[in-house]
Amino acid sequence: MRFIFLLPLLIFGLLAGITGFALFSTLSGTRQVEQLPSVLVERPAPDTRQPNLTEGAPEVDLSHYRGQIVLVNFFASWCVPCRAEIPMLQSLAKDLTVIGIAYKDKVQDTKAFLTRFGNPYHVVGVDLDGRTGITWGVYGIPETYLIDAQGNVLFRHAGVVDKVLIENTLRPLWETAG
């Protein structure tokens, strides 16, 4: 009981330790705070049928792509980080079917965007009012979903796709799945 006076200090130290650990692991990047978890992972991808960006072309129906590994990428012309990942999506298009969903974007804006920055997509579906985004649990684009041949979501990434993500996460996932 002699050292009971040290108890507040001990509690303070403990709290400071916990918050300090959280702060520094966030700053050093080991703790991810910017990504919300997706509940879609390991569940069937939502049924998605969208109008095609190209007028007159048939609807973009995700179920037609059963049997192949598909990358679904939500993007928009107003989304600056979406520009940055286009070359990466282009490189992924060699191995996967990359489907774009233009999220809450005017059709002519999407078209101008793809002309200017390049079009890495196999096909682009239009989600004018963002409802499809909600059924996928999209909360901030760019968001990218990897879908296996059975139509299940393997992985979701919120943010720009980069080489590190492709080599460390996406490639192992689709290689074991396919």
Partner 1 sequence: MTIVRYPIRIMLLVLTYAMVFLPTHVSPVAALSAEEILDDPALEARARAISQQLRCLVCQNQSIDDSDAPLAKDLRSLVREQLQNSKSDTEILDFLQNQYGAYILLEPPISSSTWVLWLAPVMIALFGSGMILASRHLKSAPPDTVLPISTPRTSFRPRIVFLMCFVVLGSALGVHQFIGRPDLPPRPLGRRAEEIKILKDTAQAQQRALRRSFVEARAATRLSPKDPAAWYHLSRTAAALGDSETEINTLKQAIALDPDALALKSLLAEAYSRVADEQITLPARALIDEVLSIDSTEPRALFLRGLAAFQDGDYTGAVQTWMQLFKYSAPDAPWMPMVRENILRAAAAGDFAPPFLPDPAPIAKMTDVEQ
Q: Which is nearer to partner 1, 1 or 56 (CB)?
A: 1
Q: Cα dihedral angle (26, 32, 35, 37), rounded to 10 degrees?
A: -140
Q: For the CB of residue 118, give the shortest distance to partner 1 in the complex, in Å.
A: 2
Residue closer to partner 1 by CB (options 68, 135) is 135
Q: Which residue's CB is nearer to partner 1, number 31 or number 131?
A: 131
Report the nearest approach of partner 1 to the CB of residue 58 (Å): 26
Interface positions with partner 1 (CB under 8 A): 1-2, 5-6, 8-9, 12-13, 16, 20, 23, 27, 36-40, 80, 83-84, 86-88, 90-91, 104, 116-120, 129-131, 133-137, 139-140, 162-164
d(CA 11, CA 154): 42
Peptide bond into 142 cis (omega under 30): yes
Cβ(160)–Cβ(142) under 8 Å? yes
E-only strand ranges, 55-152: 60-61, 70-75, 97-103, 123-127, 143-147
Smallest separation, CB 7 to partner 1 (Å):
8
CB of 85 to partner 1, least distance (A): 9
In the bound state with partner 1, the residue whose beta carbon lies nearer, of 12 and 175, is 12
Q: Would you say 155 and 73 are in contact if contact means Cβ atoms under 8 Å apart?
A: no
Q: How many residues does the chain have?
A: 178
